[in-house]
Structure 1
Amino acid sequence: GTSCFVEKRSCCLGVKPFSASQKTWPKISCAMNMSAHQSDDDRKLQLDQLIDKARKLWDRSPEPVKNFPWNTTLGNFIQLVLDLTLAVIKYLYVPVFTVTSISELSYCAHQRKLLLVPIPVLLGAAVAGILKETALKLSPRLRDAEVPWHLIAVTIFFTLIKLPGPYYPSLGRILIPHFANGVLLRTLWFAILWYRRPKALKILDSDN
């Protein structure tokens, strides 16, 4: 009788904490959901207040400030930043490309696999021509654009492929960077022709 009583008491003691934990867990999760919902509401309220303050500030601003061409100024500023970025890339890209290409050639010479270099370079040059023609077919407006964005995109993409060259496997370290070099060399040539094209057109117009 005593052992049964002890077992019943132990069972009761063991069940009560478990039931209590089951009751407290929904309360905790509910409190967490309420706090998250309240934080979202606070953020929305703060955003609405900020928008209202901005509108009031704009309404109170003088007419010269309202009539100022802010959109045009922002567009000119973005264009200036892009021009400066392109100028820096234009003057730094060729030296960096030359140094990295010499390093890659020295590695191939060290591995005695210089004879493999022309194959990926020629393949890369062919791929560059295909990419250029495909971009012009997909977007004919690029032919009249002031900046060859399609060539810039190709250059950035294959530069990102070229830079991790030392971390490629042995054969990939030889083929992949030189494939990218072929693409970049021909893309650079396309860019030179692109920027010389307006000068040639001006000469033709002046002759006529």
Structure 2
Amino acid sequence: MALKLNPPRPPAANASFSKEFLSCRKMQNYILAFKPMGVCKIAPPQVLCAMNMIAGQSDESGKLKLDRVIDKAKQLWDSSPQPVKSFPWSRAFDNFIQFILDIVLAVIKYLSIPVFAISCISEMSYCAHERKLYFTPLPFLLGAAVAGVLRTAALETSPSLKNAEVPWHLIAIAIFFTLIKLPGPYYPYWGRLLIPHFANGALFRTLWFAFMWYRRPRKSSETTVAESMAGSTEQNL
């Protein structure tokens, strides 16, 4: 009796699984695009390539646009009339910056005194609440003395500040002590009691120096230049 051995056939479940796997592998190269009406459309993978190319060329397109803008500006400047080219644009820009600085200094000058007075009253009220108000005169006088020493040192370092149009040394001193005064509530206990009053004394003395600086008789720039030239000629002789 002869036995015939037939090769085993794969079950139907395995066959269906392999077909689904192959179909999934094929679908990885496609993108499903949904429309508002519910219709599904398959887009080829070329769309992804185009999107990647556009994303990679975004920086280059930005550089090209910037170069075009620069070229257009150069062409506009070359085609502008001669009065526009000969106009002193750098001097006008310097005058504009000086005008803005003058406005800022005027605002600071008129707002500094009210803000300083309110902050001093607030700090003195805190010391009175802690019953340590009798400690305030000593750091106040010490700060005033330090401000005087700094002003004298600045004038000895650069004597040209005496005839300057803006008291930059006083502004620098005021900014320095303002930065010391601002974090007053964050100091330790004795720091909250002493350091703000030390800064208040220095700021009060600086404001007094600024007031006296604006009250002094000013010399014109031409007179100052003439005096400096006369002094140099005397030294040469």
TM-score, length of structure 1 as denominator length: 0.70
1:110 maps to amino acid: H
Which residue of 2 is the match for residue 149 of structure 1? 168
Unaligned runs of 5+ in 1: 1-38, 203-208
Which residue of 1 is the match for residue 24 of structure 2? none
1:188 maps to amino acid: L
Matched, 1:138 2:140: no
Q: Displacement, 1:161? A: 1.8
Counterparts of 2:194 and 2:65, CA distance in 1: 55
Which residue of 1 is the match for residue 139 of structure 2? 120
Taking every aligned residue pair, what percent have the same amino acid on both sides? 66
Matched, 1:160 2:160: no
Which residue of 2 is the match for residue 35 of structure 1? none
Which residue of 1 is the match for residue 53 of structure 2? none
Per the alignment, in what secondary structure is the counterpart of residue 217 of structure 2?
Answer: helix
1:81 maps to amino acid: I
Q: Displacement, 1:139? A: 1.9
Which structure is higher in helix share? 1
Per the alignment, in what secondary structure is the counterpart of residue 198 of structure 1?
Answer: coil
Counterparts of 2:133 and 2:118, CA distance in 1: 17
Unaligned runs of 5+ in 2: 1-58, 221-237
Matched, 1:188 2:188: no
Counterparts of 1:137 and 1:52, CA distance in 2: 52
Any residues of structure 2 matched to 1:26-175 within 5 Å, and which?
51-175=70-194
Counterparts of 1:75 and 1:104, CA distance in 2: 41
Q: Displacement, 1:157? A: 2.0
1:42–1:138 Cα change, 3 Å: farther
Q: What's the Cα RMSD here?
A: 2.5
Counterparts of 1:175 and 1:43, CA distance in 2: 57
Q: Displacement, 1:72? A: 1.6
Counterparts of 1:44 and 1:155, CA distance in 2: 46
Counterparts of 2:130 and 2:192, CA distance in 1: 11
Q: Displacement, 1:49? A: 5.8
Counterparts of 1:168 and 1:175, CA distance in 2: 10
Per the alignment, in what secondary structure is the counterpart of residue 118 of structure 2?
Answer: helix
Greater relative CO (CA pairs within 8 A, separation 6+): 1
Q: Displacement, 1:164? A: 2.0
2:110 maps to amino acid: Y
1:98 maps to amino acid: A
Per the alignment, in what secondary structure is the counterpart of residue 131 of structure 2?
Answer: coil
1:170–1:80 Cα change, 3 Å: same
Q: Displacement, 1:52? A: 4.4
Q: How many residues align?
A: 165
Q: Displacement, 1:195? A: 0.4
Which entry has the higher C-alpha Rg, 1 or 2? 2
Counterparts of 2:149 and 2:69, CA distance in 1: 51
Counterparts of 2:113 and 2:178, CA distance in 1: 12
